[in-house]
Amino acid sequence: MSETLKETVGEVCRSVEFDRSRMIDVVREVQKRYGNVSGEAMELIARELKTHRVEVESVVSFYAFLSEMRQGKVVIRLCNDVIDRMHGADRVLAAFEEELGIRVGETTPDGEITLTTTACIGMSDQAPAALINDVVVNHLSSDLAREIVWELKQHGNPALLVKNLGDGNNASELVSAMVKNNIRHRGAVILSRAATGQGLETALAMTPAEVIRNVKTARLRGRGGAGFPTGMKWEFTRAGSAAERVIVCNADEGEPGTFKDRVILTECPDLMFEGMTIGAYAIGASLGIVYLRAEYAYLKRFLESVLDRRRSEGVLGRGICGLEGFDFDIRIQMGAGAYICGEETALLSSCEGVRGDPKNRPPFPAQKGYLGLPTSVNNVETLCCVARIMEHGPGWFTALGSEQSAGTKLLSISGDCKRSGVYELPLGIPLRELLKLAGAEDAQAIQVGGPSGQMVGPDAFDRTICYDDLSTGGSIMVFGPKRKILEVVDAFLEFFVEESCGYCTPCRVGNVLLKKAVAKLISGKGSQKDLAYLQSLAETVKKTSRCGLGQTSPNPVLSTLENFRSVYEEVLVAGEAGLQHDFELSRAVSQAARIAGRTSAHLHP
């Protein structure tokens, strides 16, 4: 056993040329083959990659898809995102537990199947959904869960669970997934037409500086959520005298309720790669990395094949489009299950083969990014926009969208609406119009921008989706009239508690305290003072956290305190002022009373 492990580790490490920065690939492969990365495997990996075991261990313990404990040959990861719960994920989980005879987090005694839950897997439009190894199963019900278990017990092969293929490329041989695109509205920039390659040709006829100027003229801003001007980012990355630069495509779409990149990756990968190649030309990069979230591993083979085709077409590789000296290639870096890796500096850490910890800024990635090289990290959708801007010119792009926010935006709408799915719409569209399109006019609350965004009510439905008003990376979650707002807040906080990387105290501890404070209010034991405490705690976490995660994780609390104050005030306790009503003396002394065999003398003080 030990000998084969040694051989396997050696072989896996050789496949990445013993490059320590490819640690994620190595541990992912070992995990895949053995169902875990054991202590022994860690030792061996450390030796092969000339590093310390603790480096390997810190990676294995960090990512959700890696584990030191042996997992089953089949791992069922049920999405427990709030949208999935609204669609009955709890019942599905109960059915899985009952049918497998194990609790969540456990493995069947025969070592075959592990059951666990995971944060949003980018399938909110077809919830409840789960990943079974790399296979997506969607529209789950408790009956379906039982059927899946029964089948897995027969053949143990998740691939055989795929029954009805989805639409578009989901049905192609290399994807073969049940995933549905659910494209509801095709806008002018991305979804209306296939990639033509024209953008790249036009770009290569310009100087890199001209390309950047065009992107700036188009007023293109990052589509991932932060909205940084793309042209400016490229200019910063190009500045300086580095011999090599890197362009990274952020396909770690982890913000719950976002699934628009899934559709782009499935239907428009050429457009994305084209945009990336243009970006490489503009900043002078020869290496491109697509950081693909582990949840989208089912798209990897397909994307690799697109890359291969592009190489054979001469639009990737050496001397692209016959342009002497423009060499650029792209590799796909798989993630391993960590929301924080959507944050660009954490993403770069992950690409470098270490824990996905965010880095201190400055230096910004544009100055010192991947392995210390100037790096531009751009969202999938942003890069697609670039290709179209080059194809049709910046004027065409700015004519779409609003005064301040140019172009279209892909929005992924899910929750209590009739038509959940992906909508490509001009920026500046009023929320009300969007809700009408999606069939969600009776919504009580809309979470714009995912848990890290903000929750708004009907009085904000005339506000617009754009960078200067309601900004979003794509996530729009709809909560109908019967949903309990505080429970949604609680679910979001649970997500952040789980996903905090643990590096800084305000985020690691603060999110736990926020969740406790909200739970106290939900239980009806909170007072006016608890509300004030919640507010000040949320502000502290926001102000003092190290990266975007902790700086935005209090947003569900802060935006609901502002926009849905009444739901908090309705649950405030009516009892005596000054006491903490979640402390119950009778419960606190019940053990001692049982041990002493007598009752409390102070039960009614």
Partner 1 sequence: MEKPRIATTSLAGCFGCHMSLLDIDARILDLAELVEFHKSPINDIKAFDQHCAVGLIEGGCCNEENVKVLREFRRNCDILVSVGDCAIMGGIPAMRNLVPLEECLQEAYLNGPTVFNPSKRIPNDPEIPLLLEKVYPCHEVVEIDYHLPGCPPPADTLWEALGALLKGNPIELSYELIKYD
CB 271 within 8 A of CB 421: no
Contact 26, 12 (CB under 8 A): yes
Q: Counting contacts by CB under 8 A, is residue 574 touching partner 1?
A: no
Residue with tokens 């890197």: 246
Cα distances (angstroms) measured from residue 148 to each of 79, 165, 176, 295, 546: 16, 16, 18, 19, 42
**Residue from 109, 322, 325, 578 that binds partner 1 (CB under 8 A)?**
578
Measured over the CA atoms of residue 500, residue 505, residue 506 and residue 512, the dihedral's sign is positive
Q: Residue 601 Cβ, how far from partner 1 at the closest point, in Å?
A: 7
Interaction pattern, residues 414-433, with partner 1; x per rule: CB under 8 A: --------------------
160 binds partner 1 (CB under 8 A): no
3-state secondary structure of 456: strand
Give least dist CB 497 to partner 1, A.
Answer: 20
Rounded least distance, CB 594 to partner 1, Å: 9
Nearer to partner 1, 50 or 604 (CB): 604
Q: Which residues pair with 429 in a beta bridge?
A: 465
Among 1, 243, 574, 601, binds partner 1 (CB under 8 A): 601
Min dist. Cβ of residue 590 to partner 1 (A): 7
Residue with tokens 């490059």: 19
Contacts of 515 by beta carbon, 8 Å cutoff, 6+ apart: 490, 493, 494, 497
Candidate list 50, 163, 482, 602; residue touching partner 1; CB under 8 A: 602
Q: Which is nearer to partner 1, 323 or 593 (CB)?
A: 593
Candidate list 17, 570, 574, 583; residue touching partner 1; CB under 8 A: 583
Q: Contact between 209 and partner 1 (CB under 8 A)?
A: no
Q: Residues 15, 207, 523, 590: which binds partner 1 (CB under 8 A)? A: 590
585 sits near partner 1 (criterion: CB under 8 A): yes
- Least gap, CB of 585 to partner 1 (angstroms): 6
Residue 583 exposed, middle or buried by CB count within 10 Å (0-12, 13-18, 19+): exposed
Comparing CB distances to partner 1, the nearer of 362 and 578 is 578
Part of the chain binding partner 1 (CB under 8 A), chosen from 15-23, 113-121, 346-354, 597-605: 597-605
Under the binding rule (CB under 8 A), the answer on residue 532 touching partner 1 is no
472 is written with which tokens?
């979003």
First vs last Cα of the chain: how many Å apart? 66
Asked if 553 and 602 count as a contact pair (C-beta separation under 8 A), the reply is: no
Q: How many angstroms separate the Cα of 548 from the Cα of each of 541, 552, 591?
A: 11, 6, 44
Minimum CB distance to partner 1, residue 573 (Å): 12
Tokens of 230: 């793309």
Query: Hey, CA dihedral for 175, 181, 185, 187, is it positive or negative?
Result: negative
Question: HEC states along 217-236?
Answer: HCCCECCCCCCCEHHHHHHH
What is the smallest separation between the CB atom of 579 and partner 1, expressed in angstroms? 5
d(CA 301, CA 315): 19
Q: What is the smallest separation between the CB atom of 572 and partner 1, expressed in angstroms? A: 14
Site string for partner 1, 490-529 (x = CB under 8 A): -------------------------------------x-x
Alpha helices in 374-504 (DSSP H): 380-392, 394-399, 431-438, 485-499
Q: How many residues bind partner 1 (CB under 8 A)?
A: 23
Which region among 189-197, 453-461, 469-477, 572-580 touches partner 1 (by CB under 8 A)?
572-580
- Annotate each residue in 17-56 with x if it binds partner 1 (CB under 8 A) or - if it does not, as one string: ----------------------------------------
Other CB atoms within a 10 A radius of the CB of residue 210 amount to: 12
**Coil, helix or strand at residue 468:** coil
Closest CB 292 distance from partner 1, rounded Å: 43
Q: What tokens appear for 220 in the block?
A: 């293109």
| Binding piece for partner 1, criterion CB under 8 A, among 32-40, 465-473, 547-555, 578-586 | 578-586
Of the listed pieces 192-200, 257-265, 503-511, 576-584, which binds partner 1 according to CB under 8 A?
576-584
Sheet containing strand 135-137, edge to edge, reads 113-118, 74-79, 130-132, 135-137
Residue 315 near residue 387 (C-beta atoms within 8 A): no
Please tell me whether residue 591 binds partner 1 under the rule CB under 8 A: yes
Cα separation, 245 vs 372, in Å, equals 9
Binding stretches for partner 1 (CB under 8 A): 527, 529, 578-580, 582-583, 585, 588-593, 595-598, 600-603, 605
